[in-house]
């Protein structure tokens, strides 16, 4: 077995109580192998990365995913608690929730469906692909050594399609239903911490906003609405001795296109922190409004109509269920959501998401969320190892990169693992910190077969 340094174990040991002592040894090998190996994140590639390609009991490592009993939800809870302790601390907790498609094919893969492929679709061209739809919730926070916002996944669930649920004879849940259930779970873990949740316009609903307001300590939901959303003024106060039923809502607010076309619209110029951390001046109209649909309860919040005369930003209507938020806060919270898309792309590019090949139902339910959680684990390891110092940034004569990216963080953690981990073939030898023949053999095997 491998022997990990104390600095690495200080982070990993938080998850040890979830597994039995025997299984925990196998889990450590799979985690370290998934971090070290390039390309596909199969179980066998993880074993090769730590020098266990000759282990005849390799099936034990497959059983960690497809057979052994352990709770993925408990792992998520411990990862969430670790992120709160190390990253968020006493700051406002900002959550981002979104769905992504894992492209897969195969008759043995359960829950397979045909979904919209956001990465390949555009405004005018809708592309569908076969695969598994995952809904992931992430913490949006800034690291001490970076100026950008990072989206750190901690809870991911499978959202099967309608046909899959009908064949299994179970009630279908949309992605919005799953997000509503996930935020309830987070509120059970952390009942009273100030929390904001940001979702895209495709994942907003009146029911989700109402649920966020029903907690003892409400969650502020921030999202983009359709341009034709029904937004109303607050109902007027009753006149003295007025008879009849009190109005449910006031006058309806104009649509965004009507506000833009009206020369008398009182636009307010504000400066916000936009994409890439750059300051941007835009025009807004901000009002306390009621989001109302016939036959459903009213939802009170802050509506912000955004208009950029330069055309760099798309005009949109933003809504926050907390009316005390300012227009600037609503816009900047929504801009933070873009980092969720960045995380999805980096997990595909650097952690082999979509390359795993399990077809066991239990292994599928565990492997994809594990790779998304591995992204957060790498960030936590880097934060613990760096102690506030910035990681080294890879530059060259033709590329002067100044900001830290996930590839730099992953390279730093790999470097620490290579330098301070005792791999299986050197277990009986005294560890001196030198490059051993076993380590050179592992490097040679990985590099020669790297695609």
Number of structural domains the chain divides into: 2
Is position 425 within any domain?
Answer: yes
Q: In this predicted structure, what is the pLDDT of residue 420?
A: 81
Is position 170 within any domain?
Answer: no
Q: Which residue range forms the structural domain that includes residue 276?
A: 204-236+248-331
pLDDT tens-digit series, residues 143-190:
988 888 999 999 999 999 999 899 888 999 999 999 999 999 999 999
Is position 135 within any domain?
Answer: no
Three-class secondary structure of residue 369 per DSSP: helix
Q: Domain ends where: 289, 312, 331?
A: 331
> Does one domain contain both 220 and 262?
yes
Which of 6, 141, 161, 165 shows the shortest CA–CA distance to 83? 141
DSSP 227: T
- Report, in angstroms and rounded to the nearest whole number, the Rg of the chain calculated over CA atoms: 25
pLDDT tens-digit series, residues 308-359:
988 888 999 999 999 999 999 999 999 999 999 999 999 999 999 999 888 8
> Does one domain contain both 371 and 443?
yes
> Does one domain contain both 275 and 325?
yes
Is position 137 within any domain?
Answer: no
> Does one domain contain both 321 and 364?
no
Ranges of residues in the chain with a pLDDT under 50 are: 426-432
Q: Domain ends where: 295, 314, 331?
A: 331
> Does one domain contain both 380 and 325?
no
> Does one domain contain both 440 and 364?
yes
Is position 374 within any domain?
Answer: yes
Concatenated DSSP letters of 18-33: GS-HHHHHHHHHHHHH
> Does one domain contain both 232 and 310?
yes
pLDDT tens-digit series, residues 114-149:
998 888 888 788 899 999 999 999 999 999 888 889
């Amino acid at each position: 077995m491998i022997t990990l340094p104390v600095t690495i174990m200080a982070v990993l040991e938080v998850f040890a109580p979830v597994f039995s002592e025997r299984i925990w040894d196998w889990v450590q090998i799979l985690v370290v192998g998934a971090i070290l190996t390039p390309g596909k994140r199969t179980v066998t590639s993880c074993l090769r990365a730590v020098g266990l390609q000759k282990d005849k009991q390799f099936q034990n490592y497959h059983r960690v995913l497809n057979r052994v009993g352990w709770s993925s939800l408990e792992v998520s809870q411990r990862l969430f608690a670790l992120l709160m302790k190390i990253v968020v601390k006493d700051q406002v907790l900002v959550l981002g929730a979104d769905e992504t498609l894992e492209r897969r094919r195969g008759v043995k893969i359960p829950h397979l469906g045909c979904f919209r492929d956001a990465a390949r679709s555009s405004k005018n061209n809708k592309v569908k692909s076969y695969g598994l739809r995952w809904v992931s919730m992430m913490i949006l926070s800034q690291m001490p050594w970076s100026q950008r916002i990072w989206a750190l996944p901690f809870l991911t669930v499978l959202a099967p399609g309608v046909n899959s649920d009908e064949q299994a004879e179970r009630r279908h849940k949309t992605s919005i239903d799953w997000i509503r259930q996930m935020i309830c779970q987070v509120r059970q873990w952390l009942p009273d911490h100030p929390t904001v949740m940001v979702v895209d316009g495709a994942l907003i609903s009146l029911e989700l906003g109402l649920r966020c307001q029903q907690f003892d300590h409400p969650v502020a939901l921030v999202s983009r609405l359709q341009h034709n959303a029904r937004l109303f003024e607050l109902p007027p106060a009753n006149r003295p001795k007025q008879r009849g039923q009190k109005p449910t809502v006031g006058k309806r607010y104009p649509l965004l296109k009507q506000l833009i076309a009206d020369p008398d619209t009182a636009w307010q110029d504000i400066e916000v922190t936009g994409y890439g951390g750059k300051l941007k001046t835009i025009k807004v109209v901000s009002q306390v409004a009621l989001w109302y649909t016939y036959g459903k309860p009213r939802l009170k919040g802050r509506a912000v109509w955004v208009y950029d005369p330069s055309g760099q930003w798309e005009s949109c209507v933003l809504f926050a269920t907390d009316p005390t938020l300012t227009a600037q806060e609503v816009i900047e919270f929504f801009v933070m959501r873009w980092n969720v898309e960045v995380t999805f792309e980096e997990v595909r590019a650097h952690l082999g998401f979509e390359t795993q090949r399990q077809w066991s139902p239990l292994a599928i339910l565990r492997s994809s969320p594990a790779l998304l959680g591995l992204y957060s684990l790498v960030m936590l390891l880097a934060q613990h190892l760096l102690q506030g110092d910035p990681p080294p940034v890879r530059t060259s004569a033709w590329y002067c990169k100044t900001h830290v990216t996930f590839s730099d963080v992953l390279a730093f953690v790999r470097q620490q693992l290579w330098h301070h981990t005792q791999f299986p073939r050197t277990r009986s030898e005294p560890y001196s910190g030198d490059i051993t023949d076993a380590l050179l053999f592992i490097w040679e095997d990985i590099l020669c077969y790297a695609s």
